Amino acid sequence: MISVEEAQMIILDSTRPNPPRRVSLKDSLGLVLAEDVIASVDLPPFTSSAMDGYALRGEDTAQASEESPCRLQRVEDLPAGKVARRKITARTCARIMTGGLLPRGAGAVVMLEETESVGDEIKIKRVVSTGENIRYQGEDVRKGKTVLQKGTAIHAQQVALLAALGFSRPLVFPRPSVAFLSTGNELVPVSKKLSPGKIRDSNSDTLEALLREAGANPVRLGIAKDSRASLRKKIRKGLARDLLLVAGGVSAGTHDLVKEILEAEGVKELFWKVRMKPGKPLFFGKKGKTLVFGLPGNPASSFVSFQLFVRPALRKRMGAREALPVFEKARLAQDLTHAPGRVDFIRAVCERNHGAPGIRSSGMQGSHCLSSLAHANALLRLGENVSKRSKGEEVEALIL
């Protein structure tokens, strides 16, 4: 068996990003930039008003006061999108809307509510400083500046910047195509009634949800029976994808045939079994560009294995700069014991209070137990050389 860290390094060393491609801006959400984004224009692209008000020359208000307001002649109205026809000269102004292009000659904008108007005469009762309420061309972004770096994940806030700069088809690393199947004669589809000895296939829906959350394109292959023919047929289909996930059939039982079939189909084993609980029988291999994960059949084990190993592979495949999960500090809200010799990942509830978050077990920790998984918002990591941790001790947790 190998350590969790060794397994993660083998996986990441075996993973390369997919070739980049251009996609529409709306389809880029959740993907990772495959090149630096360099501004092709200034932002703002022109000098404009930051307020609804009047564009004027600041020097014309130098003597303005409540007792002796300055009086300016309004010569034009400038809604956003309109280009001024007239230059602002001494003792003149133009009504302007927020975002409106500042007319030539103007050096400031006074807010509408700070003025009085009688016809086209505008009264201003205070000094307006040059530059007041103006958004200058390029004050946010200068043309030629690198505004987003390769490896940046695209969220709504990045979409806003890309759209403003005119990047309608950014170059990104595409979503990996991931085939997945569950194995076992005992499994039936979720919609079916249970008969004695049967259980519903919870792994398939869980894996699909995890894959969608991770940004991949899931391809469901269904349930394979514990027979070579059934497994071989589905595994062959899955090997045409970027990743193949097989839930179950990777332990050492009589009916655990997955490793045998994978080897026969040309998959090179890179490791089998990790010193961890749950998830010990994890298998990882590769055929060509296809990464193959043999996940434990127990649903909690499969879930934990996905978070620690499959998700990092997906992140690297999608071009992320940082692929490994990030653990945070937390303080135990209870005493915990576990068997030393392997790392224990406990399904847990992490509650953020003042200081370090408090964390406790979310319930029964059997690898078949789903209620503790459903109530968990974290995985609490207990090291392989420690058998007991006390309430109040600092521990590490992966927030889900």
Determine the structural domain holding residue 373 and report its residue range: 328-399
Shared domain for 81 and 219, answered yes or no, is no
Alpha carbons 304 and 295: distance in angstroms, whole number? 10
Q: Same domain, yes or no, for 36 and 152?
A: yes
| Closest by Cα among 43, 56, 164 to 102 | 56
Domain co-membership, 200 together with 285:
yes
Cα end-to-end span (Å), the chain = 26
Q: Which residues touch 132 (CB under 8 Å, ≥6 apart)?
A: 58, 108, 109, 110
Co-location of 269 and 336 in the same domain: no
Do both 230 and 283 map to the same domain? yes
Q: CB within 8 A of 80, min separation 6: which ones?
A: 97, 98, 99, 100
- The C-alpha atoms of residue 331 and residue 396 are separated, in whole angstroms, by 8
Domain membership flag for residue 350: yes
Check whether residue 179 and residue 163 sit in a common domain: no
Residue found under tokens 């950014």: 170
Q: In whole angstroms, what is the distance from residue 15 CA to residue 31 CA? A: 17
Length reported for the chain: 400
Domain boundary among 288, 317, 346: 317
Decide which of 317, 343, 377 is a domain's last residue: 317
- Predicted local distance difference test score (pLDDT) of residue 49: 98
Buried b (16+ CB within 10 A) or exposed e, 332-349: bbeebebeeebbbbbbbb
- Give the per-residue pLDDT at 249: 83
Are β-strands 115-118 and 121-124 bridged in parallel, bridged antiparallel, or unpaired?
Answer: antiparallel
Which pLDDT does position 344 carry in this prediction?
94
Pairwise CA distance, residues 139 & 110, whole Å = 20
In a domain, 323, yes or no: no
Residue 362 shares a structural domain with residue 289: no
Q: Would residue 166 be called left, alpha or beta, if left means φ above 0 and alpha means ψ between -120 and 50 degrees?
A: left
Burial (CB < 10 A; 0-12, 13-18, 19+), residue 186, is middle
Q: How far is CA 60 from CA 57, 70, 88, in A?
A: 6, 7, 11
Buried b or exposed e, range 217-230, using 16+ CB within 10 angstroms: ebbebebbebeeeb
| Distance between CA atoms of residues 207 and 245, nearest Å | 9
Identify the three-state secondary structure at position 187.
Answer: strand
For residue 79, what are its two tokens? 């809604």
- Could you give the C-alpha distances from 139 to 33, 247, 271, in angstroms and in order? 25, 54, 54
- Confirm whether 128 is domain-assigned: yes
- Quote helix, strand, coil % in the chain, to nearest 5: 20, 30, 50
287 and 311 belong to one structural domain:
yes
**Cα–Cα distance, 44 to 164 (Å, whole number):** 9
Domain count within the chain: 4
Tokens of 27: 């389809």
Put residue 184 in one of left, alpha, beta given phi > 0 → left and psi -120 to 50 → alpha. left
Task: Clarify whether residues 241 and 196 are in a common domain.
Answer: yes
Residue showing tokens 């801006």:
25
DSSP string, 154-180: --HHHHHHHHHTT-SS-EEEPPPEEEE
Averaged over successive runs of 10 residues, the pLDDT of the chain (400 residues) comes to 97 97 97 98 97 98 96 96 97 97 98 95 97 98 98 97 98 98 92 90 96 97 93 97 94 77 97 95 97 95 97 97 94 89 94 83 86 94 88 94
Of the CA atoms within 13 Å of residue 152, those in its CB half-sphere come to 18
Considering the domain architecture, whether residues 163 and 36 belong to the same structural domain is answered as yes
Q: Are residues 91 and 122 in the same domain?
A: yes
Residue 317 parent element (H or E): helix 311-317
Residues 30 and 169 grouped into a single domain: yes
Q: Answer for the pair 105, 88: CB distance below 8 angstroms, yes or no.
A: yes
Picking from 279, 321, 303, the residue whose alpha carbon sits closest to that of residue 36 is 321
Prediction pTM value = 0.87
Q: What CATH number has the domain bearing residue 364?
A: 2.40.340.10
